[in-house]
Amino acid sequence: MFPALALLALLQAPTDSGPAYSGRAHALHVVLPRIDTSIVVDGVLSEPVWQRAARLIDFSEYQPVDSRPAEEPTEVLVWYSPTAIYFGIRAREVHGDLVHATHADRDNIDADDYVQILLDTYNDRRRAFLFGVNPFGVQQDGVRIDAYAGGAGGSSGGSGGISSANVLNGNVDLNPDFVFESRGRLVPGGYDVEIRIPFKSLRYAGGKVQTWGINVLRRVQHSGYQDSWAPVVRASASFLNQSGFIDSLIDLRRGLVLDLTPVATERVSGAPDTTGAYRYASDPELGLDVHYGVTPNLSLDGTINPDFSQVESDVGQVTLNQRFALFYPEKRPFFLDGLELLDTPNQLIYTRRIVSPDGGVKLAGKAGPWTIATILTSDARSESATGSHPDFGIARLRYDLGPTSNLGFIGTDREDGGQFSRLAGADAHIVHSGIYFVEFQGVASWLHDSTGFHRGTLTQADWDRTGRYWGFHLNATGIAPDFDAAAGFVNRTGVVNLSYFNRLTGYGQRGALLETVSSFQTISRIWDYNGFPRQSAIEGSESVNLQGTLRGWWQPNLSLTRNFYRFGAASPGYLGASYGGYRVRTTGVPTDTTTAPFAIPALLDNLFVLGAGLTTPTWRQFTGTLSASYGAVANFDEAARGTGVSLSGEVDLRPTPAMRISAQYSRLTIHRRDGSWFSSEDIPRLKLEYQATRSIFFRVVGQYTALSSDALRDPTTGNPIVVAGSVVGPSASDQLRVDWLFSYRPSPGTLIYLGYGASCSDFDLACAVGRQRARTDDGFFAKLSYLFGL
């Protein structure tokens, strides 16, 4: 006991003469020394300049329980030169040699100990640049925002704004990459990291004297705790509004910010032709991205033929029994810079809807209280319904109201020959009483296509409470049947959705077996837009979810959900509209082709599903998750009640600091009410990664997808269902997809990708490495780009 306390006192003792700023003492206004010098970023904090740096000390615990002194000592040294800001991190461990560190790929440090620096360079308490590092200095970067769940890049989806459930964790987009230097090393009792962030990598307000927001977070994997320098608490509607301040930054010099990134890609794709012969076609392309910092707070980007950069296989998703579209995140560099400025409460801007642009320009930044983001692009002719080039125009404006509230305006336009889809609207996010916010959005759309002219509206209102022990989120959203967001992602129209989310949280003592426990209760109702509020809800659910955090960061959860679906008549908005083409054979005799109308059920009610899951602690070499559910579900293909069983699990192995193995498996089966099998989907996925050096990376991803379903049967008579004159028979498909990738990326923008991928129609590993039997398609991929920074 006494040696440990002595070691703790020694580690916390000041080792430098610079001014100290204690987070727990609320000394949050930091004045940094401006020193006109430079250092070699090597992870060794031995240069004399570090003795003059400001010191951020006395961190507090934030997760799982806030407002407690941090167990592990952390000291962050900060100073700045005319051209960059420097951070030195001394992270210590009082429990022994327990630091987790790997040689990971960029942004892939979630299983390691890490430190994140949040720089709110506009000091508007709304968004912050995120710079993360693990003990070896492996980089993680992106943007953290406090509001808006409708991510323009698909990194966070849905509608209704940020809720009291996720305000605790924030909306973080790790897709953007910034140029900065970092090196780290393990030392006795912890690790040291050295960081240099050039001012030209940041956007910030104009003016000779700057005030920035700052906070530093530390993740300790062996305990699962997250510590914060600023003593942030859970009972707040804003995380970033609780940050500290860097005062009196003077005479920052960015220099000329002009980046040119030429890109060359080559795709060689193979597939069977109409004769069955397997043939290859080449598709070489050249592109160019240009980034110009017009002012410190405003940037202009241009692109010619941007590459999609889809070298990473999208994560396997269960698609069986799904009624709505799925989306994937943006990866193209042109769209990523300043992408968070396009976010709205609903996902009315989703840049992947611009599929294959020939070129485009973008202006993004902030001028006083106004945040501005605009995009003009011309999409490829292949995406046109008229044979022309679809042109997109997107504009997003926000006006700050006080430290955390704002008004927003949005306008989008897609012009395709004589057809168009236009949208305009406004929104507001108002924080009140510290722990509450209200949010509103109203939008109108105008669509002119081959069927005529259509007008639609979207309206949304939210009220949220983020308290320490009690939180709630109330949402009301109405989307007209003819509403169209050609530049957004709205996967369901013609509905009114009312939902209520409630959270109750309790906290245990430090070191107790149960550290936190939360109960989440949710009620949701969906109405047909034209029938609201006169008619009954067409579907809805109630759920109770119990989640706990146990000592060591074990995380169990248990849930019970009740769903109902009202099919109703075959009219728009009701589920019954999907079965207008269904007929039923009057007998089961194959030669008897007589049919009768399909009887659409009025209601499927009391569909109870029980779910459970468990996540293990993040050990040095292993992390695992497992979830399962069982209960009554709607079999939408047959408009009938069924029994669904789902199982999913993931195991992440880190046998060496350079190697990672991730194995995932998901399975979903549906049985009819009489116990007969109806459908199943199995998706095993294996990913192997090897980080040879900090710049050189190898990856192999293999995913097998097997889908099968029985012939459609009428749930009442058991006779075959006929669609378009034909019996819908059983179906089965399976596909193996294997992707290989070599990556050399010494810095953002400069890279070499070499990849190969193949899809096979049966489980034949040989087809992925050279044989064409059963291969449905394959392709070679090469990408070279180089960032010229002027």
Per cent of the chain over pLDDT 70 is: 90
pLDDT of residue 309: 52
Q: What's the pLDDT band for 491 if we cut at 50, 70, 90?
A: confident
652 vs 327, higher pLDDT: 652
pLDDT of residue 589: 82
The 3-class secondary structure across 558-614, one letter per residue, is: EEEEEEEEECCCCCCCCHHHHHCCEEEECCCCCCCCCEEECCCCCEEEEEEEEEEEE
For residues 346-358, give the mean pLDDT: 91
pLDDT of residue 570: 52
Neighbours of 332 (CB within 10 A): 21
Q: What's the pLDDT band for 411 if we cut at 50, 70, 90?
A: very high
Pairing type for strands 209-220 and 731-747 reads: unpaired
For the stretch 428-484, pLDDT in tens is: 999 999 999 999 999 999 999 999 999 999 999 999 999 999 999 999 999 999 999
DSSP 27-61: --EEE--B-------SS---SGGGGGSEEEE--EE
Alpha-carbon gap, residue 307 to 630, rounded angstroms? 43
* Whether residue 9 has pLDDT greater than 80: no
Q: Which helix (H) or strand (E) holds 320?
A: none
> Domain spans of the chain?
2-250
pLDDT of residue 777: 85
Q: Which two tokens mark 729?
A: 């028979």
> Which value, in Å, is the radius of gyration of the alpha carbons in the chain?
28
Burial of 674 (0-12, 13-18, 19+ CB in 10 A): exposed
DSSP state of 237: S
| Beta bridge mates, 668 | 646, 681
Q: What's the pLDDT band for 315 if we cut at 50, 70, 90?
A: very low
For residues 312-328, give the mean pLDDT: 42
For the stretch 537-583, pLDDT in tens is: 999 999 999 999 999 899 999 999 999 999 876 555 567 778 888 99
For the stretch 731-759, pLDDT in tens is: 998 888 888 999 999 999 899 999 898 88
Angle at 333 between CA 249 and CA 330, to 5 degrees: 110
Angle at 124 between CA 19 and CA 747, to 5 degrees: 75
Q: Which amino acid is at 482?
A: D
Alpha-carbon gap, residue 379 to 60, rounded angstroms? 50
Q: In b/e form, how buried is each residue of 752-784, taking b as 16+ CB within 10 angstroms? A: bbbbbbbbbeeeeeebbeeeeeebbebbbbbbe
Q: Which two tokens mark 235?
A: 């009972």
Q: How far is CA 751 from CA 262, 309, 377, in A?
A: 11, 11, 25
Per cent of the chain over pLDDT 90 is: 72
Task: At 134, give phi and psi (nearest 5°).
Answer: -95, 180
* Whether residue 486 has pLDDT greater than 80: yes
Neighbours of 275 (CB within 10 A): 6
Residue (of 395, 365, 398, 403) closest to 377 by Cα position: 395
pLDDT of residue 267: 87
For residues 770-777, give the mean pLDDT: 62
Q: Which two tokens mark 327?
A: 């989306």
Q: Which two tokens mark 269?
A: 């794709």
Three-class DSSP category at 767: helix
Q: Which amino acid is at 145?
A: I
pLDDT of residue 320: 41
For residues 275-291, give the mean pLDDT: 89
* Whether residue 151 has pLDDT greater than 80: no
pLDDT of residue 154: 60
CATH architecture assignment, domain 2-250? Sandwich (2.60)
pLDDT of residue 774: 65
Compute the mean pLDDT over every residue in the chain, rounded to the nearest whole number.
89
> How far apart, in Å, do the first and last CA atoms of the chain sit?
57
For the stretch 157-210, pLDDT in tens is: 333 333 444 444 458 888 889 999 999 999 999 999 999 999 999 999 888 899
For residues 696-712, give the mean pLDDT: 93
pLDDT of residue 153: 62
- The predicted model scores a pTM of 0.90
* Whether residue 146 has pLDDT greater than 90: no
For residues 282-304, give the mean pLDDT: 93
pLDDT of residue 142: 93
pLDDT of residue 483: 97
